[in-house]
């Protein structure tokens, strides 16, 4: 098989031995690969692969066809259309994953559109509803609502009855999220708290999904008493200062999470959740795949350059084969 490997902080296309599944694993002939910010960071040596994962090959997200199954596999068969997340090594023509970790491709979706779902929607659902405890009717802030997870979070919150507010430094970048269900927009400036107070009648939002950091004092000012801030990214920096007194007085909760380092049993649980709860929403059209820009497998470097430009609200997808 061919795979994109990391050499001296650059991507290099290599030929490697074909993969063989373990007893409870499936081998997938990859048809599409989702490009994520973590892939760019791994190439630069700033986001190491979890222990036990081949660090040479980046990639967390795939869609394709089951090509082989292990001796004890019961739920999947050769020919099944699947998609999902892996701790690494998705930038290849084959991936191996536990059979129960794979997601079923919703009816009517091709592989390129299907691969826009796993990382964005599983991350957003876990952050908003499992970690944040978001309930119907509540306000939530999605920071920012301009890329994959932000767009997925917008759809999920709106579809499941919450009221999503999207933030950006440039409100024109929120047009796509608005089309997907934003209840309101706020500009990332010195008036952020005042904007949130105006929208929520001074109560603050119930949940903040933060992908930026580190300006948490401003965010916590717009979070209601006993609200929850869930951080899943550090695009704005790795360190911050907090007013602990304000945090204590409002009894607020801070959480952080990443999907990549979850143990296998948690990843299996999230896959089951997707198949049970989210897949029917895609099948009915209540949830939609993300806007996408495609790149051929041989041009993965261009996909990374495109993502680094930060000028597209959607998902970059590497298409493998025809």
Last residue of a domain, one of 203, 229, 256: 256
Pairing between β-strand 292-296 and β-strand 315-319 as defined by DSSP bridges? parallel
**pLDDT of amino acid 15:** 98
Same-domain status, 22 and 132:
no
Calpha distance 10→4 (Å, rounded): 10
Same-domain status, 113 and 124:
no
Note the pTM of the prediction, 2 decimals: 0.95
Please state the domain count of the chain. Answer: 2
CB-based contact 96:64 (threshold 8 Å): no
Same-domain status, 92 and 143:
no
Same-domain status, 215 and 141:
yes
Same-domain status, 191 and 90:
no
Same-domain status, 285 and 176:
no
Same-domain status, 106 and 126:
no
* CATH number for the domain harbouring residue 193: 3.40.50.720
**pLDDT of amino acid 83:** 98
* CATH number for the domain harbouring residue 66: 3.90.180.10
Residue ranges of E strands in 77-217 = 81-85, 94-98, 103-104, 139-143, 163-168, 184-187, 205-210
Please state the length of the chain.
322
Same-domain status, 134 and 233:
yes
Listed in sequence order, the DSSP H helices in the chain are 37-43, 111-114, 118-125, 148-159, 175-179, 192-199, 216-221, 244-249, 264-273, 279-283, 300-308
**pLDDT of amino acid 235:** 80
**pLDDT of amino acid 191:** 94
Last residue of a domain, one of 201, 231, 256: 256
Pairing between β-strand 223-231 and β-strand 253-256 as defined by DSSP bridges? parallel
Same-domain status, 13 and 134:
no
**pLDDT of amino acid 214:** 86
**pLDDT of amino acid 110:** 97
Q: Could you list the pLDDT tens digit for every one of the 322 residues in the chain?
A: 999 999 999 999 999 999 999 999 999 999 999 999 999 999 999 999 999 899 999 999 999 999 999 999 999 999 999 999 999 999 999 999 999 999 999 999 999 999 999 999 999 999 999 999 999 999 999 999 998 999 999 999 999 999 999 999 999 999 999 999 999 999 999 999 999 999 999 999 999 999 998 889 999 999 999 999 999 998 888 888 899 998 999 999 999 999 988 899 999 999 999 999 999 999 999 999 999 999 999 999 999 999 998 888 899 999 998 6
SS3 content of the chain, % helix, strand, coil (to 5): 30, 30, 40
Distances (CA, A) of 282 to 237, 257, 275: 35, 25, 10
**pLDDT of amino acid 109:** 95
Last residue of a domain, one of 207, 236, 256: 256
Same-domain status, 79 and 151:
no
Nearest to 77 by CA among 18, 23, 27, 19: 27
**pLDDT of amino acid 228:** 98
**Helices 264-273 and 118-125, axial angle in degrees (round to 10):** 90
What is the extent of the structural domain holding 98?
2-117+260-319
Same-domain status, 247 and 303:
no
Q: How far apart are the first and last CA of the chain?
A: 16
Same-domain status, 127 and 152:
yes
């Amino acid at each position: 098989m061919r795979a994109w490997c990391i050499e001296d902080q650059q991507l290099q296309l290599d030929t490697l031995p074909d993969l063989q599944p373990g007893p409870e694993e499936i081998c997938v002939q990859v048809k599409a690969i989702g490009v994520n910010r973590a892939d760019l960071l791994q190439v630069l040596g700033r986001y190491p692969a979890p222990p036990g994962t081949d660090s040479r090959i980046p990639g967390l997200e795939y869609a394709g066809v089951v090509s082989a199954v292990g001796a004890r596999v019961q739920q999947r068969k050769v020919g099944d259309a699947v998609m999902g997340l892996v701790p690494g090594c998705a930038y290849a023509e084959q991936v191996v994953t536990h059979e129960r970790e794979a997601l079923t491709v919703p009816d009517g979706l091709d592989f390129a559109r299907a691969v826009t779902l796993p990382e964005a929607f599983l991350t957003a659902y876990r952050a908003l509803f499992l970690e944040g405890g978001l309930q119907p009717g509540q306000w939530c802030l999605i920071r920012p609502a301009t890329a994959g997870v932000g767009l997925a979070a917008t759809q999920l919150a709106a579809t499941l009855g919450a009221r999503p507010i999207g933030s950006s430094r440039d409100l024109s970048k929120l047009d796509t999220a608005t089309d997907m269900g934003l209840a309101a927009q706020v500009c990332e400036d010195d008036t952020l708290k005042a904007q949130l107070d105006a929208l929520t009648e001074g109560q603050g939002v119930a949940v903040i999904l933060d992908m930026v950091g580190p300006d948490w004092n401003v965010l916590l000012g717009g979070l209601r008493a006993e609200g929850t801030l869930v951080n899943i990214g550090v695009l704005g920096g790795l360190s911050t200062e907090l007013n602990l007194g304000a945090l204590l007085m409002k009894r607020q909760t801070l959480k952080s999470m990443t999907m990549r380092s979850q143990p296998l049993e948690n990843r299996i649980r999230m896959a089951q959740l997707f198949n049970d709860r989210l897949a029917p929403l895609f099948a009915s059209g209540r949830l939609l795949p993300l806007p996408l820009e495609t790149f051929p497998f041989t041009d993965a470097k261009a996909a990374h350059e495109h993502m680094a430009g930060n000028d597209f609200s959607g998902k970059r997808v590497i298409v493998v084969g025809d």
